[in-house]
Amino acid sequence: HVQLVESGGGSVQSGGSLRLTCAASGYGRSRACMAWFRQAPGKEREGVARIYTTGGSVMYADSVKGRFNISADGDKSTVYLQLSDLRPEDTAMYYCAAAQPWIMCPSKFNMRDFGYWGQGTQVTVS
């Protein structure tokens, strides 16, 4: 049974930085595609970045390219999202998502491709 636990959200001023962490359990040594999505009040959930737990196949949404960096620690089945140069429009609940083990990362951010979700961590930029 896969579980995802996020941490690292908070409140920062414009231009600030945060690092989000998503620890997955239940994958063992399997490779999995993991992603970060976010949802702002009144808006649809959107994909931000994704990566394999073993690294590689990194993809970003256009809105965060050059400002966010996703990385993974395969030994720990943990994915990190470094948020830099934050803007008020980055304010949202950020969710970690993971796919079934050994499934290829999808070419687009499609929520239906990710069967496991964390509880979310709030990022507020003022």
* Predicted pLDDT of residue 75: 87
As a whole number, the mean pLDDT across the chain is: 95
- The stretch 106-126 carries a mean pLDDT of 95
pLDDT per residue as tens digits for the range 48-85: 999 999 998 999 999 999 999 999 998 889 999 999 99
What's the Cα-to-Cα distance from 53 to each of 11, 16, 34, 70, 124, rounded to whole Å? 27, 27, 7, 11, 27
Q: Which residues pair with 94 in a beta bridge?
A: 38, 121
Separation of alpha carbons 52 and 66, rounded Å: 19
End-to-end CA distance of the chain: 38
What's the Cα-to-Cα distance from 7 to each of 89, 101, 120, rounded to whole Å? 20, 22, 8
pLDDT band at 109 (very low <50, low <70, confident <90, very high): very high
pLDDT per residue as tens digits for the range 26-49: 887 788 999 999 999 999 999 999
